[in-house]
Each structure stands twice: as structure tokens, then as C-alpha cells.
Amino acid sequence: MNKRYVAIWFPHLGCDALAIHQQVLKGQPYALVSQERNKQWIINVSYEAQQLGLRPNMPLADARISLPSLQAFSYQTQAVEECLMALAHWCIRFTPYVALVPPDGLLLEVAGCTHLWKNEATYLQAISKRLAEHYQLKIAIADTIGAAWAMVHYGNQQIIAPKQQLAALLPLPPQALRLDVAIVERLAKLGFHHIESFIRIAPNTLRRRFGDEINLRIGQALGYQHETFVAIEEPHPYQERLPCLEPIQTANGIAIAVEKLLEKLCTQLQKKDLGLRSAVLKTYRLDGKLQQISIGTNQPSIHIKHLFKLFELKINQLEPDLGIELFVMEASKVERLPQQQEALWQVAQQTKLTEISELLDRISIKAGKNAVRRYLPQANHWPEHSIKAVSDVTQQAEIAWPLHKPRPTVLLNQPEPIQVSAPIPDYPPMNFSYKGEVHRIVKADGPERIEREWWLTEGLHRDYYGVEDEKGQRYWIFRLGHYHSNKAAQWFIHGYFA
């Protein structure tokens, strides 16, 4: 597929952006100015000011002689850059490939996109109609970045037919090739005022007179020299897009869009024997706002009905407002499918493991990502190192769970200090205070001494006790180190029994 590029130029970007935020300026001549060597220079002018003869690079004092009512505002570089980036993100609804052309332009790679709007003419019309509500702009499409850029800055054609960029460039001035000012001045001195007057001169001759840049720019504009295109967001390799002819405003419409995207995405993944572990749904609204929701699974899945149920639980988080005009779904994490899933879920029976995994997915969506956790034993006897968290329900333990000694159902990430009253030296505590509550101990078991793994960490050993208070609640607590008659012992709580 031959590449096609759309160039968009906003000649009054800074002023248009300012007008959006300060409505009182609409219809009035004003300029953005920058101070240099105690003089103020015009950086950008509003459309109204341009119609009155004002141009960028004029001293502000000269401009005010011509137009005393001119309003001047400080040029904010960062604000203009942010505005351009916001426009780039907005354009993603028309193509996944959008690049910045600072300080006031955008570039879109649109191969394979224009047919969704019937043809290139209606495609450009759809973009410019929406942007023209707030911005002055020029737009053009061509086979090359250079030709598209030349048309919006110096040409009058919007659509350059495939392989016709040479004919379109001939009547344009040398500046249209993005040449350095010094080269343009030398060309003018020699009487080369249009591209047609020098483009057919032998490359070696041009190189001797003007350097390497002129041949490079000619080659880029005509398409036989490569030009790098750097998109603001590289499309995800597993992504599906669904543009809408009419904006979607209802939950039912969103659900239908989600189901269609899942069907396409799962079919794409199934062809590569991959399953989805996490996915993101992005929605682009008419007002330019981007919203997104995400889901995750405990094992790779291409079970469309199950994945749809997970998204369905989050659809109410989306606010369509005036309507959603583009849906994008990305499989942000994929893994190799288990053998039993390779038939795209067209089987009558599913394993118990799959049913459990899907149940955990639904619980996680409703209760939160960390509501369900799974742990496996590790070959360490120090409590903090004796277990590890896993996300894959199919992963098997490498060692058996130690059952010869009681361990709490819930182990705290870090032991927390408590205040204890205990006989000496090795009797269990009589009571302890934790988070402002006093617990009187009625049953106890211990001590169990656990030494540190000296080859990993240094420190004191722990003497653990399993205790039960008057309410029947059971805790795992320990004293740090040996008992000393002249020093208060340090006690900690480390877990809870069921």
C-alpha cells in the first residue's frame, strides 16, 4: 500500500488558541509578542490583524502606528506547544499515525484510512470542518511529507494525485522545499524564483553550487529520498479501531461497539495463538475528550463473551456527552494461549480452571484489582520470604505448603509494633495493645523461634506465639531477640489466623 500524508498548517495557532480561552477577543485584531533586546516583536497575529496588513516579525511599535487599537499579548511558547499536542491527540480519531511539525503544523499518515470516509476529498473535508470551528488552517494530501508540507504553505491544491507531486511542485517558490534561508537567497540571486527553474539541473551541479541539502529536500519531496516520520503515539501491535458514522451516546451503542472490537481483536490474536491478559478501551468524544477503561484476566483469554462481561461492568464509567465518534481497543498484554483455548472457544466443555479464572476476573473487576490474590510457597523459612504473589492461576508450586507448623491466614507485609504485658522469660503474653485496642489473651501457644537467614540478612531472631483473645480472634505475634531484664522487649504483630 502506497503511503499518503496529510499536512495541516495552523498559521495563527497561538492567537486561535488564545481566542478559545478568552472569548472577548473574537473578531478583534490582536497579536502575540515576544521581547528581545528591549524591543517587542510580533510572533503571531490574529486573522483579523492579518487582514489589516500586520505580519509576524514586525516590531510591535511599528504595528501600533498602523493600527493603534491593536491588542498585544505575551507569547507563551509552552501554551502553544501544549495546544499543538492536544490537536495531535484529537487527530488520532482520523488515523493512528500523527506527528508534530513544530511550531504550528501536524502531519498525518493516512494510508488505509481515507476509504472509511468514502474518499480523500470527504476525508479532508471532515477534518477541516471540525478544526475550522476554532482554528484557521490549510490542509493538503500527497504521496510525500515534503509535497504535502509545500502545498499547505505555498500551494493552492488540496489533493495531489498519486505520483503527481512533481507537477504540483513546479510553480512553487524554492522555500516550499524547506530549504535554508541562505540557499533560498543564493537561488534568488541566480534568478531561480520557482522550483521548475532548477529542479531538472543535474544533482552534481546543484550540490557544487548549493550543498547537499538541496538534493536531499528535492528527493524527499519527490519520494525517492527517505524521510523519517515520528508519531506521537506508536499504534499498539494488537489494536482495533471502530469509527462511527453517527456519534454514539447510549450505553447500548457502546456495548455493541465493544463487542465488535472484541470479535476483531480476539480473531487477530487467535491467528497467532495468543490470548489477552489485559486490554484498554479508548473512546474519543466529539468535544475532543479522551476516556478509557481497562480490564485484566488471570490467564490468557480469547473468550469473547467473558471479556465482554468484564468490559460491561465498566461501561457506566464512560460519559458519552455529545457522543463518541471513535472507539479504539488495544490488547496491552498478551500471552501464549493454553492448549485448550486454541479453538477460539467453540467447544462445549470448559475446564474447571477456566471457570475459576473467569470467576476471579469478574470479582476483580467489581471489588478491585487487588481484591483477589494468590500466593505460592517459597523455599525460605523467614516468614516474609516464605511466600510469593503470583497472577497466573495455572502456575504450580515448586514445593509443598509447610503444614507441620501453624501459619496465619493473613500475613502482614511488615510486622507492626504492639505494647505487651508478659511474664518472664519465655511465657506467652497476658495481653497486648494494638491500634488503640487492648486484647486480653485467653489461649496461647509457643514460643517458636525463627532465626534469620544469616546469608541474606543480619539481625535478631524472633520468638513467635499464636494467641487468642477473649473475643475468639487469633493473632501471630513475636518478641524480637532475647529477653533482657534491664531492657524492655520489642513485640510485634505479624498476622491473623482464620
pLDDT tens digits for range 85-106 = 999 999 988 998 999 999 899 9
pLDDT value of position 204: 93
Grade residue 27 by pLDDT with cuts at 50, 70 and 90: confident
- The mean of the pLDDT values for the chain is 86
Q: Which residue has the higher pLDDT, 240 or 375?
A: 240
Of 94-98, 347-351, 425-429, 474-478, give the lowest mean pLDDT range: 347-351
**For 5-19, what is the mean pLDDT?**
90
pLDDT tens digits for range 153-177 = 999 999 999 999 999 999 999 999 9
Grade residue 394 by pLDDT with cuts at 50, 70 and 90: low
pLDDT value of position 459: 83
- List, in sequence order, the alpha helices (H) in 117-169: 120-131, 145-154, 165-169
The predicted model scores a pTM of 0.65
Of 2-6, 50-54, 376-380, 387-391, give the lowest mean pLDDT range: 387-391
pLDDT value of position 214: 94
Residue 141 in contact with residue 160, Cβ under 8 Å? yes
pLDDT value of position 262: 93
Domain 239-365 sits in CATH at: 3.30.1490.100
pLDDT value of position 298: 77
> 1-235: which CATH topology?
Alpha-Beta Plaits (3.30.70)
Of 262-271, 336-345, 434-443, give the lowest mean pLDDT range: 336-345
Grade residue 498 by pLDDT with cuts at 50, 70 and 90: confident
Q: What percent of the chain has pLDDT over 70?
A: 90
Indicate whether 350 pLDDT > 60.
Answer: no
Closest CA to 265 of 253, 278, 248: 278
Closest CA to 108 of 233, 224, 17, 204: 233
Indicate whether 349 pLDDT > 60.
Answer: no
**For 18-23, what is the mean pLDDT?**
74
Domain limits, the chain: 1-235, 239-365, 410-496
Ordered DSSP codes for 223-244: TSS------SSPPPSSEEEEEE
Indicate whether 340 pLDDT > 60.
Answer: no
Residue 158 in contact with residue 128, Cβ under 8 Å? no
pLDDT value of position 358: 64
Residue 261 in contact with residue 331, Cβ under 8 Å? no
**For 130-155, what is the mean pLDDT?**
94
Indicate whether 343 pLDDT > 50.
Answer: no
Of 16-20, 165-169, 390-394, give the lowest mean pLDDT range: 390-394
pLDDT tens digits for range 397-417 = 777 777 778 888 888 888 999
Give the E-state strand segments of 235-323 in sequence order. 239-248, 274-285, 290-301
pLDDT value of position 246: 85
For residue 352, what is its C-alpha cell?
A: 474447571
Indicate whether 421 pLDDT > 90.
Answer: no
Q: Which residue has the higher pLDDT, 265 or 69?
A: 265
* 226 backbone dihedrals φ, ψ, rounded to 5°: -70, 140
Indicate whether 260 pLDDT > 60.
Answer: yes
pLDDT value of position 131: 92
Indicate whether 481 pLDDT > 50.
Answer: yes
SS3 194: coil
pLDDT value of position 196: 94
pLDDT value of position 341: 46
The CA distances from residue 15 to 43, 288, 333, in Å, are: 10, 20, 42
Residue 333 in contact with residue 269, Cβ under 8 Å? no
